[in-house]
Amino acid sequence: MESQNSKSIQEVSEKIEIINKSLHEIRSSIDNLSKEQEEFISFRLFKKAKSLLTWWILIWTGAALFFIGLTGVVSYLKVVEKTTDQFSTVIMPKLETELREYYLARINQIVDRETADLSARLERKFQEQLQNFAKQLGEQLDKPKIAEIKPTAPTSTREGWAYLGHYENGAWKTRYFQFSENAEPSSLNQKKDLEVREETGALNVRKKMPNFFGQFAPVIDTLKSGSKVDILEVEEWDNSGYMWAHIKYQD
């Protein structure tokens, strides 16, 4: 009886121990489940908080960027306005002054160049006209025209100026009276009875020598070839070699 009771007590003790183990396992499982749920809930909360924080950061970052951008735009507009004012009040007048001075200098250069070119052209034209005038003067002196003037007082003594010829480099290039081609012009002063050359033909007698500008005096008479004259004086026209004689002759 007593052994039976001991056995029953032992069996009960074993069952209690088994139950205690089972309870311990159940408690451990419940604890583990609570920890997993707690970790899961914590993870979800962390993720949610992280998402909210991210959006919060993005919103504030956007707002900051917008504010910075707006401030930058305002600053940029202020800089543009200041630059525009500076350009209008300082740079533009200075630029206008420099441009005006530059173009005035260019215009002066062009005017100076054109003036120099015009002066050169006028000088060339003047020289050409002077050469043509000298040539025409020489032709007129070498080929006198016969003036249609009738003698007014036959057998009277008259005076005038006649062209002797062209004397240059110690020799006569042309002679309108009969004298030596090597004769000095001064040797013809007071020369008497010089004849008009046959080669000359007719010789104009003028009131006086040509003036400074080469204009001929009026013709007062015409001498035929062979006519004789007395030379009162010999003069050279304007150091040109064109020799003229103050003559006296009979009609």
Alpha carbon distances (Å) from 168 to 136, 173, 187, 189, 239: 18, 7, 15, 18, 10
Q: Are residues 59 and 83 in the same domain?
A: yes
Q: Are residues 183 and 202 in the same domain?
A: yes
pLDDT in tens, 141-167: 655 555 555 555 556 899 999 999 999
Q: Are residues 84 and 105 in the same domain?
A: yes
Percent of the chain with pLDDT over 90: 31
Residue 179: its pLDDT value, please? Answer: 94
Q: Are residues 207 and 120 in the same domain?
A: no
Residue 172: its pLDDT value, please? Answer: 94
Contact 170, 186 (CB under 8 A): no
Q: Are residues 19 and 118 in the same domain?
A: yes
126, 142, 158 - which closes a domain: 142
Q: Is the pLDDT of residue 112 over 80?
A: no
pLDDT band, very low/low/confident/very high, at 188 (cuts 50, 70, 90): very high
Q: Is the pLDDT of residue 11 over 90?
A: no
Q: Are residues 28 and 126 in the same domain?
A: yes
Q: Is the pLDDT of residue 35 over 60?
A: no
Q: Are residues 42 and 112 in the same domain?
A: yes
Measured between alpha carbons, how far is 242 from 153 in angstroms, rounded to an integer? Answer: 30
Domain count for the chain: 2
Q: Is the pLDDT of residue 210 over 70?
A: yes
Mean pLDDT, the chain, integer = 76
Domain that holds residue 103: 1-142
As a whole number, mean pLDDT of residues 29-41 equals 54
pLDDT band, very low/low/confident/very high, at 195 (cuts 50, 70, 90): very high
Q: Are residues 126 and 179 in the same domain?
A: no
Question: Of residues 176 and 6, which shows the higher confidence score?
Answer: 176
pLDDT band, very low/low/confident/very high, at 168 (cuts 50, 70, 90): very high
Contact 224, 151 (CB under 8 A): no
101, 127, 142 - which closes a domain: 142
Q: Are residues 157 and 222 in the same domain?
A: yes
pLDDT in tens, 74-84: 676 776 577 66
Q: Are residues 216 and 171 in the same domain?
A: yes
Residue 96: its pLDDT value, please? Answer: 74
Q: Is the pLDDT of residue 176 over 90?
A: yes
Q: Are residues 73 and 119 in the same domain?
A: yes
Residue 183 structure tokens: 């004769």
Question: Of residues 35 and 155, which shows the higher confidence score?
Answer: 155
Q: Three-state secondary structure along 138-179?
A: HHHHHCCCCCCCCCCCCCCEEEEEEEEEEEECCEEEEECECC
Residue 223: its pLDDT value, please? Answer: 95
As a whole number, mean pLDDT of residues 61-70 equals 68
Contact 197, 175 (CB under 8 A): yes
Measured between alpha carbons, how far is 154 from 168 in angstroms, rounded to an integer? Answer: 37
As a whole number, mean pLDDT of residues 19-29 equals 68
Residue 190: its pLDDT value, please? Answer: 93
120, 142, 164 - which closes a domain: 142
Q: Are residues 176 and 129 in the same domain?
A: no
Q: Is the pLDDT of residue 4 over 70?
A: no
Residue 171: its pLDDT value, please? Answer: 92
Residue 122: its pLDDT value, please? Answer: 65
Residue 141: its pLDDT value, please? Answer: 60
